Amino acid sequence: DQQVKQNSPSLSVQEGRISILNCDYTNSMFDYFLWYKKYPAEGPTFLISISSIKDKNEDGRFTVFLNKSAKHLSLHIVPSQPGDSAVYFCAVGGSNYKLTFGKGTLLTVNP
């Protein structure tokens, strides 16, 4: 029973264009949402987060959008760069210490 779903296993984008990665969750009690990036043979690294009191958070080329009514969040990367090619995980948290991760989306940015 997946509480966090990333329905696109992979995404291919041209350099300079926008990358949009999506994530859906099932539990409305989650109130923190994070994106992690993972390169092969490395651990995930934190990218950006948003709390449930906001609907948008921006950090440079990365913007996370939260739609609480739809239980949906997305990560926008613009402009996309070849170095952005990695697996992106969304993760959600609630009032406990636990994060629940999605399965990840492999982003490939083509030069």
Max CA separation in the chain (angstroms): 42
With respect to other proteins, which residue has the nearer C-beta, 15 or 31? Answer: 31
Residues making contact with other proteins (CB under 8 A): 31-32, 34, 36, 41-46, 49, 51, 89, 93-101, 103-104
With respect to other proteins, which residue has the nearer C-beta, 14 or 46? Answer: 46
DSSP state of 60: T
With respect to other proteins, which residue has the nearer C-beta, 42 or 111? Answer: 42
Q: Is 35 exposed, middle or buried (0-12, 13-18, 19+ CB in 10 A)?
A: buried
CB of 16 to other proteins, least distance (A): 28
CB of 46 to other proteins, least distance (A): 4
Nearest to 85 by CA among 33, 34, 10, 23: 10
CB of 104 to other proteins, least distance (A): 6
Which residue in this structure is represented by tokens 């959008």?
Answer: 65
